[in-house]
């Protein structure tokens, strides 16, 4: 959508004309300047199409007698806007992203807006992208630095979209990590509300995520607001930085890629792994923050223990320590075989030494030759 010219006017002019304090309040919750900039632009485009400012929209909501009906009407308008975007050359995924982003405005300033099923097509399958296997992620985790391990293990455990992942607050996650360590819990679950859609999730951290985060928190700024801080420590890293970190891990691990690398591929992997572990589609969506009907979300929130049990059972599909364990086991096996071989060689040298002495006793004329043999034995034993 960034490259698409909007048919209703220039970005800066639309922002100045249609946006005000409500939009800035909403965007103030975003730690990433890039995300805020993109959402501001899309909100301006929507307001221009509606011919209503953000101030007018909030005022209409406050004055509405039936706020649920008002939200349904906004949902229908968003579907019409989506069709408008498609008619003006936008790709399906770009138009879907625009609708999803502006929905977050209504969640923040008014109330969540839901869109009727099948009114907007499902996202198109992206082509030309790499598909991560568990073994590849394990290898990346093995070679990653402290920050890389924390990012990768947390991303695999949560399965979140990049915007929510980068908006994680340090203090909140630090509390979960400390609690897991204090209570000696291998897994810990927590409830999260997505900033874009308002969808509720029941997410979990794996053992390696907890341990990697503990190590990462020890070496980063204690008073930072965001978990994944940039060099200044004042804001979160960007989407591009996150993608570059992932690409660096792929390169260090020597993985042969079959397509593009981006952070969203981790979300796809986690969703697929949880599903292949036998967890139902609705539970999987709830774990990674995809939208489920409100009544079902309320029900699922009350099933914390069951969801945690399901996640723990799926853990072998998500565990990133397998590569290291397999290599450590192999190294241990080789060391054991090497030790046994040295013992066998030492025994053989002892036998040869004993035989040479015995031969010398039987026939003294071989003494000179036995001395030479004994020197060879001593020299080779030192080498061994």
Whether pLDDT at 171 is above 80: yes
**How high is the pLDDT of residue 160?**
94
Whether pLDDT at 3 is above 70: no
CA max distance for the chain: 120
Q: Which of 88-97, 259-268, 354-363 has the highest mean pLDDT?
A: 259-268
Specify the CATH superfamily of domain 134-320. Intergrase catalytic core (1.10.443.10)
Q: Which of 49-63, 121-135, 228-242 has the highest mean pLDDT?
A: 49-63
* pLDDT greater at residue 168 or residue 116: 168
**How high is the pLDDT of residue 166?**
93
Q: What is the pLDDT of residues 130-165, one digit of tens each?
A: 999 999 999 999 999 999 999 999 999 999 999 899
Q: Which of 122, 82, 140, 86 is nearest to 265 (CA)?
A: 140
> What is the distance between the alpha carbons of residues 340 and 150, in angstroms, rounded to a whole number?
39
**How high is the pLDDT of residue 369?**
65
* pLDDT greater at residue 28 or residue 375: 28
State mean pLDDT over 35-56.
Answer: 92
Rounded to 10 deg, the angle between the 170-182 and 207-219 helix axes is 120
User: What percent of the chain is modeled with pLDDT above 70?
Assistant: 82
Whether pLDDT at 45 is above 80: yes
Given pLDDT bands bounded at 50, 70 and 90, which one contains residue 182? very high
Whether pLDDT at 208 is above 70: yes
Given pLDDT bands bounded at 50, 70 and 90, which one contains residue 75? very high
> What is the distance between the alpha carbons of residues 293 and 116, in angstroms, rounded to a whole number?
11
Q: Using an 8 Å Cβ cutoff, are 166 and 241 in contact?
A: no
Q: How many CB atoms lie within 10 A of CB 361?
A: 11
Whether pLDDT at 326 is above 50: no
Q: Where are the domains of the chain?
A: 11-109, 134-320, 326-383
Whether pLDDT at 339 is above 80: no
Q: Using an 8 Å Cβ cutoff, are 161 and 192 in contact?
A: no
Beta-bridge mates of residue 189: 204
Mean pLDDT, the chain, rounded, equals 85
Q: What is the 3-state secondary structure (H, E, C) of the chain?
A: CCCCCCCCCCHHHHHHHHCCHHHHHHHCCCCCHHHHHHHHHHHHHHHHHHCCCHHHHHHHHHHCCCHHHHHHHHHHHHHHHHHHHHHCCCCHHHHHHHHHHHHHHHHHHCCCCCCCCCCCCCCCCCCCECCCCHHHHHHHHHHCCHHHHHHHHHHHHHCCCHHHHHCCEHHHHHHHHHHHHHCCCCCEEEEEECCCCCCEEEEEECHHHHHHHHHHHHHCCCCCCECCECCCCCCECCHHHHHHHHHHHHHHCCCCCCCECCCHHHHHHHHHHHHHCCCCHHHHHHHHCCCCCHHHHHHHHCCHHHHHHHHHHHHHHCCCCHHHHHHHHHHHHHHHHHHHHHHHHHHHHHHHHHHHHHHHHHCHHHHHHHHHHHHHHHHHHHHC
Given pLDDT bands bounded at 50, 70 and 90, which one contains residue 213? very high
**How high is the pLDDT of residue 195?**
72
**How high is the pLDDT of residue 79?**
95
Task: Give the least confident one: 151-160, 164-173, 204-213, 362-371.
Answer: 362-371
Whether pLDDT at 324 is above 60: no
Stated pTM of the model: 0.63
Q: What is the pLDDT of residues 231-276, one digit of tens each?
A: 877 889 999 999 999 999 999 999 999 999 999 999 999 999 999 9
> What is the distance between the alpha carbons of residues 62 and 198, in angstroms, rounded to a whole number?
19
**How high is the pLDDT of residue 313?**
95
User: What percent of the chain is modeled with pLDDT above 90?
Assistant: 55
**How high is the pLDDT of residue 152?**
97
**How high is the pLDDT of residue 49?**
95
Question: 375 is written with which tokens?
Answer: 């020197």
């Amino acid at each position: 959508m960034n490259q698409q010219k909007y048919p209703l006017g220039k970005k800066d002019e639309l922002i100045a004309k249609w946006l005000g304090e409500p939009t800035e309040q909403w965007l103030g919750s975003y730690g990433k300047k890039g995300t805020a900039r993109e959402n501001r632009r899309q909100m301006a485009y929507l307001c221009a199409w509606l011919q209503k400012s953000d101030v007018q929209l909030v005022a209409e909501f406050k004055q509405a007698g039936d706020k649920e009906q008002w939200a349904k009407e906004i949902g229908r308008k968003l579907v019409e806007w989506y069709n408008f975007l498609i008619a003006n050359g936008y790709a399906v995924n770009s138009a879907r992203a625009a609708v999803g982003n502006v929905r977050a405005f209504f969640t923040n300033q008014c109330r969540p807006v839901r869109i009727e099923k099948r009114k907007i097509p499902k996202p198109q399958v992206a082509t030309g992208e790499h598909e991560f296997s568990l073994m590849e992620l394990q290898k990346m985790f093995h070679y990653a630095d402290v920050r890389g391990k924390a990012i990768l293990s947390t991303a695999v455990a949560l399965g979140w979209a990049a915007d929510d992942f980068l908006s994680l607050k340090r203090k909140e996650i630090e509390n979960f990590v400390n609690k897991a360590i204090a209570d000696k819990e291998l897994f810990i679950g927590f409830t999260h509300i997505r900033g874009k859609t308002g969808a509720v999730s029941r997410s979990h951290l794996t053992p390696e995520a907890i341990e990697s985060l503990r190590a990462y928190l020890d070496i980063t700024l204690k008073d930072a607001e965001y978990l994944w801080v940039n060099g200044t420590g004042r804001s979160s890293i960007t989407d591009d930085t996150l993608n570059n970190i992932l690409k660096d891990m792929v390169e260090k691990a020597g993985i042969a890629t079959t397509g593009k690398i981006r952070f969203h591929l981790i979300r796809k992997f986690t969703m697929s792994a949880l599903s292949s572990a036998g967890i139902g589609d609705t539970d999987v969506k709830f774990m990674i923050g995809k939208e489920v009907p409100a009544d079902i979300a309320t029900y699922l929130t009350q099933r914390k223990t069951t969801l945690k049990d399901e996640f723990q059972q799926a853990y072998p599909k998500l565990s990133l320590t397998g590569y290291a364990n397999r290599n450590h086991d192999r190294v241990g096996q080789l060391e054991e075989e090497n030790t046994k071989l040295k013992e066998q060689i030492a025994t053989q040298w002892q036998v040869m030494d004993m035989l040479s002495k015995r031969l010398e006793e039987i026939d003294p004329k071989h003494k000179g030759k036995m001395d030479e043999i004994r020197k060879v034995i001593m020299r080779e034993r030192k080498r061994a």
